[in-house]
Amino acid sequence: MRSLTYAAMLVFVVVATLPLEVVLRTRVYARLRRLALVLLCVGVPFVLWDLAATRAGHWEFDLTQTLGIVPPGGLPIEEWMFFVVVPLASVMTLEAVRAVRGWRVGDEPGQSGRSGRSGEAP
């Protein structure tokens, strides 16, 4: 059980946010291409930060509380998945708030002017 400590947290986050896709129609899983681009843009700098921070001794991991899979770089597999799961949960939450409150987040059509779609936005 001890080896599942970190993995359990990741599963909790995914399971806790999953119903939003169905109940509030957040449509994040339905937009996988956009999600993948987010994971790339966020994952790369934060994994690099993580690699640098562990090398600098800012933090380390108790590998006995992980599954024990350590890809090259020294971060346990859970830490890699952290940078998938947390951005996913963040975006799900933003879309859920938008779905419930109807507040704009800035990507709505016509947000940057009617011509924004076809030409350059001012």
Partner 1 sequence: MTHTEASLLGIAVTVVLDLWVLRTRLLTRKAFWVSYAIVLFFQTLTNEWLTSRGVFVYGEEAILGWRIGHAPVEDFLFGFSLVAQSMIWWVWWGRRGVQADPGPGPRPIVTRLATRRPR
Binding-site ranges for partner 1 (CB under 8 A): 5-6, 8-9, 12-13, 16, 22, 25, 27, 30-31, 33-35, 37-38, 41-42, 45-46, 49, 53, 56-62, 65-66, 83, 86-87, 89-91, 93-94, 96-98, 101, 103-107, 109, 111-112, 117
What's the rounded Cα separation, in Å, for the pair 76 and 7? 10
Nearer to partner 1, 72 or 118 (CB): 118
CB nearer to partner 1: pick between 45 and 71: 45
What is the full DSSP assignment across 62-116? -GGGS-S---TTS--HHHHHHHHHHHHHHHHHHHHHHHHH----S-STTTT-GGG
